[in-house]
Chain A
Amino acid sequence: MLRLGIVFCAVIALAHPQAFTFTIGSPVASQDVRAKSAAFVFRTEGCADPAKSQISGTAEGVVKGARRSVPLNVTAMSKSGVYAVYQNWPPEGDWVVNLKGTCASASAGAIIPVGPKGFVRESSKFFPRPATDAEVDASLKALAPGGNK
């Protein structure tokens, strides 16, 4: 019976490998000195070959009432699957980083609010797919004065 239980657990594990996701952190998490000026770093998880994952993103913001979008400056770090995001969006206004990634047939997305004190972990959202425009807009709305920061 124990042997059957062990085989059953192994089958479950094979059928449900870890999902492809992002994990975010402060620059120190990268263990790479090139990240010291980064806004934050992130790593991919659940990707069998991180070197083949495709990563992209934009900084989405509202500046003086006008909606803005800036392609992200993302740099791969020395550890495979670890990346740094450097701020290339203006300091004024409200901003979120919209991350997208693919690994083979799997996708992942994340919306990370960023401010003068860095990224806001508690308000960050993670998805098993790219975030929708509506989800990005909702995150930006939450940053505006009177929103749920």
Chain B
Amino acid sequence: MVPVDGTPTVNGKHIRSVGRIGAGEWIETDSGSSATVKVGEIGSVQVEPNTRLRVVTARPGEHRLALARGEIQAKITAPPRLFFVETASGTAVDLGCEYTLNADEDGFGLLRVSKGWVSFQWKGQESLVPAGASCRAEQHVGPGIPYFDDASESLKRAVESFSFEKSGQDSLNIILAEARMRDTLTLWHLLSRVEVQDRARVYDRIASLTPVPPGISRQLALKLDPDTLRRWKEELAWTW
């Protein structure tokens, strides 16, 4: 760990020069300090002011941090699934990327990806967040639905409402109306999170924005068949 500004602490001890951090140790910065943490040979994490971060695991096959509060910026060069950051509302699984992850003590989190893509996971629920997109998360709810940062403000607000305020039909109507072709990222995730009777509306909206590829069965998609949804996502990604 290299202090960038001020004197961050490791396990309560101020660090003024380069230091090593092992599993179980806490890194903490105050309003006047920040630090850069080198993660093995696979990248680095910038620890912003007012951040509390613990090293969970530090070994060649797995580097895992836990962000209690604050903000980090990760730049990872490793193959996928070697670097993980846990928060109270989800775990960011690196798939080869650069991203900013923000969490507060109430368990609210925000993941913003600038390069590559990240899988944001919690109790079996997963959100794929590519570069240029963000995803909020809440404790006890997990990651919400990702959206591109250049989506309309109405769509972004509706996604937040749908994900965390359970505002149902009103938010769904706005999302469907405001979605552009690249917002099929949002719509694809929405498909498995709406009520059963609304799935057809989401499917049809995606189909109106970009042709459904041959071999993708509407019937199986509406049943949320995993293989169908995976293959559809791989094709939709060409529009993101």
**B132 / chain A contacts, CB cutoff of 8 Å:** 26, 118
| A29 and B238 within 8 A (CB) | yes
| B239 and A25 within 8 A (CB) | yes
| B238 and A43 within 8 A (CB) | yes
**B240 / chain A contacts, CB cutoff of 8 Å:** 25-26, 28-29
CB contact between A29 and one of B79, B96, B97, B237 (< 8 Å): that residue: B237
**B238 / chain A contacts, CB cutoff of 8 Å:** 23-25, 29, 43
**B4 is an interface residue with CB less than 8 A from chain A:** no
* Minimum CB–CB distance for A41 against chain B, Å: 9
**A29 / chain B contacts, CB cutoff of 8 Å:** 234, 237-238, 240
**A61 / chain B contacts, CB cutoff of 8 Å:** none
Q: Which of B77-106 contact A (CB under 8 A)?
A: 79-80, 95-98
**B6 is an interface residue with CB less than 8 A from chain A:** no
Identify the interface centre among A25, A28, A29, A43: most chain B CB within 10 Å of its CB: A28
**A36 / chain B contacts, CB cutoff of 8 Å:** 96-98, 115-117, 131
* Minimum CB–CB distance for A46 against chain B, Å: 14
Identify the interface centre among B98, B131, B237, B238: most chain A CB within 10 Å of its CB: B238
Q: How far is the CA of A29 from the CA of B132 in the complex (A)?
A: 13
The chain A residue with its CB closest to the CB of B237 is A29
**A34 / chain B contacts, CB cutoff of 8 Å:** 96
A contacts with B: majority SS: mixed
* Minimum CB–CB distance for B81 against chain A, Å: 10
- Total B residues in contact with A, Cβ cutoff 8 Å: 18
Interface string of B199-240 (1 = CB under 8 A from A): 000000000000000000000000000000000001001111
CB contact between B237 and one of A28, A33, A37, A118 (< 8 Å): that residue: A28
* Minimum CB–CB distance for B117 against chain A, Å: 5
Q: How far is the CA of A37 from the CA of B239 in the complex (A)?
A: 18
| A26 and B131 within 8 A (CB) | yes
**A113 is an interface residue with CB less than 8 A from chain B:** no
Q: How far is the CA of A29 from the CA of B97 in the complex (A)?
A: 14
**A69 / chain B contacts, CB cutoff of 8 Å:** none
| A27 and B131 within 8 A (CB) | yes
* Minimum CB–CB distance for A86 against chain B, Å: 12
**B116 / chain A contacts, CB cutoff of 8 Å:** 27-28, 33, 36-37
**B130 is an interface residue with CB less than 8 A from chain A:** yes
Q: A25-B238, A31-B234 are in contact. List 19 more A-B contacts (CB 8 A).
A: A25-B237, A26-B130, A26-B237, A27-B116, A27-B117, A27-B130, A28-B116, A28-B117, A28-B237, A29-B234, A29-B238, A29-B240, A33-B80, A33-B95, A33-B116, A36-B96, A36-B98, A36-B131, A43-B238
**What are 26 A-B pairs at a CB distance below 8 A?**
A24-B238, A25-B237, A25-B239, A25-B240, A26-B131, A26-B132, A27-B116, A27-B117, A28-B116, A28-B130, A28-B131, A28-B240, A29-B234, A29-B237, A29-B238, A31-B234, A33-B80, A33-B95, A33-B96, A33-B116, A34-B96, A36-B96, A36-B97, A36-B116, A37-B116, A43-B238
What are the 9 closest A-B residue pairs judged by CB atoms, nearest first? A33-B96, A36-B116, A28-B130, A25-B238, A29-B237, A29-B238, A36-B96, A28-B117, A36-B115
